[in-house]
Structure 1
Amino acid sequence: MKTTLFILSLLFVTSTYAQVEVVTPPSNDGSIIIDSLTVKKHLYTLADDAMEGRKIGTPGIEKAAQYIESEFESIGLTKFKNLSSFRQDFKENGLDLFNIIGVLEGHSKKDEYVVVSAHYDHLG
């Protein structure tokens, strides 16, 4: 009886750790599909030690910015208004800083847009 209870407990515990990945099938209408694997890839990339903490004013923040800009480009986002890149430059406390902004034009309503911005800096 104890052995059976132990085996059932072990099966229960291991089954709770099983993970199911939900993959969304490709879209036929040209829309962008976001699945759990894609989100995980971006999350792990930006949280990786290679990004050196992403603190403002460090090489890590530049690496993260370049990664995000590359992803914006690859999914077809366009630059905001008259910006020459995805970066919107500004100064704060004597530091040269920037936001990253991309725009997605509406498919059925061409006069509507989705503005995508990245909050990607971190304390270190």
Structure 2
Amino acid sequence: MTDSLVDQLRAALRDAMVERDRDLVAALRSCLAVIDNATSKGIAAPRAGAIEVSVAGLSAAEVPRRQLTGEDIEALVDAELADRVAAADELEAAGRGDQAQVMRETTERLRAATQPG
């Protein structure tokens, strides 16, 4: 599971959108967002200052994104799957068994989308 994992997730997202599978679309988008957010270096707090020292031009304030290794991506996906399992357990404990079941089924389908080939 490496960058091809991200490609797999994106392909699964396209398929789920075509099939109008709202639960799986939401799960895949969430997983891809976790990966995308992990590449962010964050931003410095805005501060006031003289206009002549501010950046100018298209994309002048852009910073390069962090590069994730395959292991980083795998760890992020594993953590997302674990969070979803924990959320299903919490739903079950709160007496929302029907929602917990949907969460578990969607999590298993998300897990299947991360498997090779």
1 or 2, which has the higher strand percentage?
1
Higher relative contact order (CA 8 A, sep 6+): 2
Give the TM-score normalised by structure 2.
0.28
Who wins on radius of gyration, i.e. which is larger?
1
1 or 2, which has the higher helix percentage?
2
